[in-house]
Amino acid sequence: MDLKHFGDSYDIVKKSLLQWLASFGPWAAHPMFTHPVTDAEANEFSRFLGVRLVSTKVFPASSDRSSYFAECKDARSIFLDPDTGVRLSSFNGVLSWNFIFADELVQLATARPNGLVLSFDQSLARGRERQQVQAKLRHFRSRGVFGFAYVSHAAFLVLSKSDSLIESARDQVVAASGLPQARLAANGEPSNIRS
């Protein structure tokens, strides 16, 4: 998360998803800040989202990634806000801090069997968002993690070890938001949500 973008349309969707999924909380957020933030800035972002932040640490490429995400351990449901999004394969280097890796999301979902993992994902090619989101959801399903995605100019993945919890969460998003079913994809396939 880069606070120079704070308040943009992506943030409105983040806040909306957290509100629609509030009953699956309590929620916390790991903003994955890309630059140092003041306590006041962090508090303002937390207040906007309506959830506590588990960390305000910057996420540089040299970070110990497992220690960085260990901050999430006490949250029943966790929102992750990587600067760019979700990558299926991990890599090292200066740009790695822009992403959360699939293996990390699997670990986070496995650690909270009664909770959800929500992640921002802008790392999709324009015009191919739906196909790429479905490929990511199939990847997670092959590792025993179920999910659905909000598909738009920026996607958001919702993941869990529990298929029934994901189905309930998906139904809740549809009921609370009134979104058209075409905006959601589930477990790598088009959604068949009942309205």
Q: Domain segments of the chain: what residues?
A: 3-190
What is the model's pLDDT at position 31? 92
What is the model's pLDDT at position 195? 30
What is the model's pLDDT at position 125? 75
Of all residues in the chain, the percent with pLDDT exceeding 70 is: 89
pLDDT, tens digit, 9 for 90 and up, residues 54-69? 998 887 666 688 888 8
For the chain, residues with pLDDT lower than 50 are 190-195
Q: What is the DSSP string of 124-177?
A: S-TT-HHHHHHHHHHHHHHTT-EEEEE-SSSEEEEEES-HHHHHHHHHHHHHHH
Rg (Cα) of the chain, in Å, rounded?
A: 15
- What's the topology of domain 3-190? Rossmann fold (3.40.50)
